[in-house]
Amino acid sequence: MQNDFTFSIIKPNAVRTGKTGPILAMINEAGFEISALKMIHMTLAQAESFYEVHHGRPFFEGLVEFMSSGPVFVMILKHENAIEEFRKLIGATDPAKAEPGTIRKKFAVSVQMNAVHGSDSYENACKEADFFFSGIERF
């Protein structure tokens, strides 16, 4: 079924400061089911490849350095209308504009260090999930 899963990352700032558990609890409480999950530390080249779509943007260099600065949790999450529902749960890119009760409002420390990634389309969710997970790592 299209749009029944999304891809997410708990970003280095949140992992470093012990927010993985609280963020997973919010994801769980919102009704998402974990379909794949692992902890990794991306190289700079891997982060550049993942964020290729943003290559050339003024924040690109800082973003890829940040995303390769420490371990992250990558995951695939199942839910009806997963893309839209997860984007609602995480809130706006800029935490100053994120709704109260969203993950970014609670755990982001800046626009760059905004605690979590969520796919923006079904096509990108498929690409992003395939970038990090093989078939035998997905349930």
Q: Min. distance of Cβ 124 from Mg ion in angstroms?
A: 8
Residue number with CB closer to Mg ion (25 or 130): 130
Site for Mg ion in 115-134 (CB under 5 A): 120
Site for Mg ion in 18-47 (CB under 5 A): none
Long-range pairs of 57-66 with CB within 8 A, sequence gap ≥ 24: 59/111, 59/112, 62/112, 63/112, 66/11, 66/12, 66/13, 66/112, 66/113
Q: Min. distance of Cβ 108 from ligand IDP in angstroms?
A: 9
> Which residues are at the interface with ligand IDP (CB under 6 A)?
54, 59, 63, 93, 111-112, 114, 117, 120
**Which class for 75: exposed (0-12), middle (13-18), buried (19 or more C-beta within 10 A)?**
buried
Residue 127 CA to residue 38 CA, distance in Å, equals 17
Residue number with CB closer to ligand IDP (19 or 117): 117
Q: Min. distance of Cβ 119 from ligand IDP in angstroms?
A: 8
* Listed residue (89, 109, 110, 111) closest to 100, CA to CA: 89
Residue number with CB closer to ligand IDP (69 or 112): 112
Identify the bridge partners of residue 78 per DSSP, sorted by sequence position.
5, 33
Tell me if residue 117 is catalytic.
yes
For position 84 contacting Mg ion by CB under 5 A, the verdict is: no
| Active site (catalytic) residues | 117
